[in-house]
Amino acid sequence: MWIEPNERKVERIQFLNENGKLIGSMPEVSDEELVSLYKWMVLARVFDQRALKLQRQGRIGTYAPLSGQEAAQIGSASALAPQDWIYPSYREGAACFVHGFPMKNFFLYTMGHLSGSDAEGAHVFPVQIIIAAQCLHAVGGAWASKYKKENSVSVAYLGDGGTSEGDFHEAMNFAGVYQLPMVFFVQNNQWAISVPVGKQTSSKTIVQKALAYGMAGVQVDGNDVLAVYMTMKQALDRARKGEPVLIEAVTYRQGPHTTADDPTKYRDGSDVETWLAKDPLKRIKLFLFEKGIWNEALEEQEYAKAEHTVSEAFEQAVNTPKSNVKELFDLVYEQKSSQLAEQQQSLASEEVWK
């Protein structure tokens, strides 16, 4: 009669194995969709490597690499409708790009520029630094959508570590109680900085946490873009009907936590090796080759194009006029108080004094 620890066995959804072989039958997905998924992944990978390099050169600030998580991010974001909203954390650049967030502004974000969170109309909330806080904003967004009948699903992106925060719990519970059009998309990349997921929670899977909230959940191979894409579609369908869903995408953070982190302090090279073999790009690429809709020429061309796109975005970022401290005072309230006006003013006089 007791509930025993981890009694629920969980099966992981997978369509493509590590070598790009289809498991089971082919899902309903067009060649264009497949190729588009892969192109986005290439762009994400190129962006990530460039960002890392730029950080090492001191041209951008702290950056949280996403290599290894392209399938999870691109697969999920590609399934969104335009009216849906993303509530990202700091590692979701790729998902945000797919949903329309300008790469230029992401670079500006890493450069500590005030325009760094300008989505330019895309339905992407500003990057959230406070772990799991975005889950509640997504709840509020989904709630607004339900109230206004916007047919918009709110997707909260978070990591395995994020599930330990109280805000995750409160958000899941609210989503369940109000039956909100929401997806909690957890990228379980095995690590929260230096803490492996096995020490983050005693729950064997993240997805079983759905059981605490009377919510549906599904675990998917987060390195299999096809599985993620198809599963996210299902999840969005349910969410649109007011059935919130928790998705656990099992993936891996190939790089450091951020450019300020040294993962050799806490994890084995062998762990990394194992997971590099499961690289998300490799898998879909092999599948596309096998399917005959991709080849080396296209591959080369796509990488070149991606390099160009990234270069252009970075150039634009670099050429954006620098932020000025005086702008800050206009961003605190719709109308600034006399105190803020005076402080803003003091900066002007300070220059005179200088």
Partner 1 sequence: MTLLTMIEAINLTLKKEMERDERIILLGEDIGKNGGVFRATDGLQAAFGPERVVDTPIAESAIVGAAVGMAARGLRPVAEIQFFGFIYEAMDQMASQAARLRFRSGGRLSAPMVIRAPFGGGVKTPELHSDSLEGLFLHSPGLKVVMPSSPYDAKGLLTAAIRENDPVLFLEPMKLYRAFKQEVPEHDYLIELGKANVVKQGEDLTIITWGPTVPLVRQVAEQWEQQNISIEVVDLRTISPIDEDTVLESAKKTGRVIIVHEAVKTGGPGAEISALINEKALFYLSAPILRVTGFDTPYPVPSVEDDWLPNAQRISQSIQEVLAH
Ligand X SMILES: Cc1ncc(C[n+]2csc(CCOP(=O)(O)OP(=O)(O)O)c2C)c(N)n1
Task: Pick out residues in 36-55 that bind partner 1 (CB under 8 A).
Answer: none
Distance of CA 145 to the CA centre of its chain: 21
203: contact with its own copies by CB under 8 A: yes
Q: Which is nearer to ligand X, 16 or 155 (CB)?
A: 155
* Contact of 102 with 173, CB cutoff 8 Å: no
Q: Which residue's CB is nearer to Mg ion, number 87 or number 294?
A: 87
Interaction mask 209-228, its own copies, x per CB under 8 A: xxxxxxxxxx----------
* Dist. CA 340–CA 337, nearest whole Å: 5
Rounded (5°) CA angle 333-337-338: 160
Tokens matching residue 60: 């951008």
Residue range at the interface with its own copies (CB under 8 A); choices 45-53, 86-94, 170-178, 301-309: 170-178
Q: Is 97 near partner 1 (CB under 8 A)?
A: no
Give dist(CA 176, CA 285) in Å, integer: 38
**Binding pattern for the stretch 199-228 against partner 1, x by CB under 8 A and - elsewhere:** xxx---------------------------
Tell me the residue number closest to ligand X, measured at CB. Answer: 159
Is 219 in contact with 13 (CB distance < 8 Å)?
yes
Active site residues: 253, 257, 266
Q: Any contact of residue 200 with its own copies (CB under 8 A)?
A: yes
The whole-angstrom separation of Cα 254 and Cα 68 is 5
Question: Nearer Cβ to ligand X, position 87 or 329?
Answer: 87
Phi, psi of 306 (to 5 degrees): -65, -45
Q: How far is the CB of 90 from partner 1 (least distance, A)?
A: 7
HSE (CB half, 13 Å, CA atoms) of 112? 8
Q: Write out the binding residues for partner 1, residues 270-329 only, by CB under 8 A.
A: 322-325, 327-329
212 contact, one of partner 1, Mg ion, its own copies, none, CB 5-8 Å limit per kind: its own copies
Q: Which is nearer to ligand X, 160 or 221 (CB)?
A: 160
176 near its own copies (CB under 8 A): yes
Which residues of this protein are in contact with ligand X, per CB under 6 A? 91, 129-131, 158-162, 189, 191-193, 253, 257
Which residues 6+ apart lie within 8 Å of 253 measured at CB? 65, 67, 68, 69, 189, 190, 191
- Inter-residue contact 174 to 139 (CB < 8 Å): yes
- Among 210, 205, 125, 110, residue whose Cα is nearest residue 160: 205
Which residues sit at the interface with its own copies, rule CB under 8 A? 1-8, 10-11, 13, 164-170, 173, 176-177, 179, 199-204, 207-218, 243, 246
